[in-house]
């Protein structure tokens, strides 16, 4: 069975085609695609992705309800898929993700965090925990405990969000984004832009390393940690052997919700 998984993050929308085998395990077909919110190319991108493939189900989820609603309307429009039309499922509740929970107020937890946890549970050795670092608009560092439950974690501003805050809350500091930062930027910034780049990147790497290290120590979780999210390529060099990159972790988790 072929499913199309679409996840609407805070900054961009990401989609991928998966073949789900008889055991319910998804396998990515080709490459995932991504586009910014409000892009006029959304329809063309989805049409191109689905071309030549008979899709059985489309799964939509995300942390921006307005974007999920817009995607749902787009997916219901005529001409996007060839008949027979696929089943459309919107994953909008935590109990649709089928992740054991060890947290308070599960209805307030971002679905992207739970979907990443769902994917991280696949092939997890019994009695072994996992740490998931998702670097996006916000950066989250989450724990799957040794019983296999999503146990919570920490949330901090991502690289781009930190850059926006410095720019908008001051009069003179320029805007810096991850796209403008070399992942190997020197810690010693010899001019303002370089100093901001250093602070944003190495501050993020240091915060993530400290939080993940404490979680790993306090809950006896072995490494390496799983690293995903749009800003993951900028954090990966600084975290080096501490992490295993899993760029499509959330989409895999979404594909796993297919019945």
Q: Are residues 57 and 120 in the same domain?
A: no
**Rounded distance between C-alpha atoms, residue 175 and residue 23, angstroms:** 48
CATH number (domain holding residue 248): 3.30.420.40
**Residue 76 near residue 11 (C-beta atoms within 8 A):** no
User: Going residue by residue through the chain (259 aa), what tens digit of pLDDT does each one get?
Assistant: 899 999 999 889 999 999 998 888 899 998 899 998 888 888 888 888 888 888 999 999 998 899 999 999 888 887 788 778 899 999 999 999 999 999 999 999 999 999 999 999 998 999 999 999 999 999 999 999 999 999 999 999 999 999 999 999 999 999 999 999 999 999 999 999 999 999 999 999 999 999 999 999 999 999 899 999 999 999 999 999 999 999 999 999 999 998 7
178 and 133 belong to one structural domain: yes
Domain's final residue, options 92, 112, 127: 92
Q: For the chain, what's the residue count?
A: 259
Residue span of the structural domain in which 14 resides:
2-92
Q: Which position among 44, 95, 112, 160 bears the catalytic label? A: 112
Is 13 in the same domain as 126?
no
**112 noted as active-site residue:** yes
Closest CA to 57 of 13, 21, 19, 99: 19
Do 88 and 181 fall into the same domain?
Answer: no
Please identify which residue in the block is written with the tokens 């190495």: 202
Threshold 0.85, pTM exceeds? yes
H/E element, 49: helix 42-50
The last residue of a domain, from among 50, 74, 92: 92
Q: How far apart are CA 259 and CA 103, in angstroms?
A: 25
Into how many domains does the chain fold?
Answer: 2
Q: Do 79 and 113 fall within a single domain?
A: no
Helices 192-219 and 232-239, axial angle in degrees (round to 10): 70
Residue 259 belongs to a domain: no
E strand or H helix at 230: none
Looking at the structure, do residues 85 and 16 belong to the same domain, yes or no? yes
């Amino acid at each position: 069975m072929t499913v199309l998984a679409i996840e609407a993050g805070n900054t961009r929308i990401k989609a991928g085609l998966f073949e789900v085998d008889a055991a319910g395990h998804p396998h990515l077909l080709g490459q995932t695609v991504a586009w910014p919110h409000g892009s006029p190319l959304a329809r063309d991108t989805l049409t191109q992705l689905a071309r030549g493939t008979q899709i059985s189900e489309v799964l939509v989820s995300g942390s921006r309800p307005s974007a999920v609603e817009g995607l749902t309307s787009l997916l219901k429009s005529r001409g996007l898929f060839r008949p027979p039309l696929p089943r459309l499922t919107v994953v909008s509740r935590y109990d649709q993700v089928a992740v054991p929970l060890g947290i308070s107020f599960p209805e307030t937890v971002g679905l992207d965090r739970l979907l990443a946890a769902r994917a991280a549970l696949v092939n997890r050795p019994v009695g072994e925990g996992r740490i998931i670092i998702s670097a996006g608009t916000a950066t989250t560092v989450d724990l799957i405990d040794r019983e296999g439950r999503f146990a919570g974690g920490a949330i901090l501003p991502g690289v781009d969000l930190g850059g926006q805050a410095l720019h908008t809350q001051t009069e003179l500091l320029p805007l810096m984004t991850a796209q403008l930062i070399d992942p190997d930027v020197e810690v010693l910034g010899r001019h303002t832009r370089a100093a901001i780049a250093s602070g944003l990147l190495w501050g993020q790497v240091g915060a993530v390393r400290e939080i993940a290290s404490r979680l790993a120590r306090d809950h006896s979780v072995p490494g390496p940690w799983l690293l995903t999210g749009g800003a993951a390529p900028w954090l990966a060099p600084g975290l080096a052997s501490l992490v295993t990159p899993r760029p499509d972790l959330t989409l895999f988790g979404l594909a796993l919700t297919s019945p």
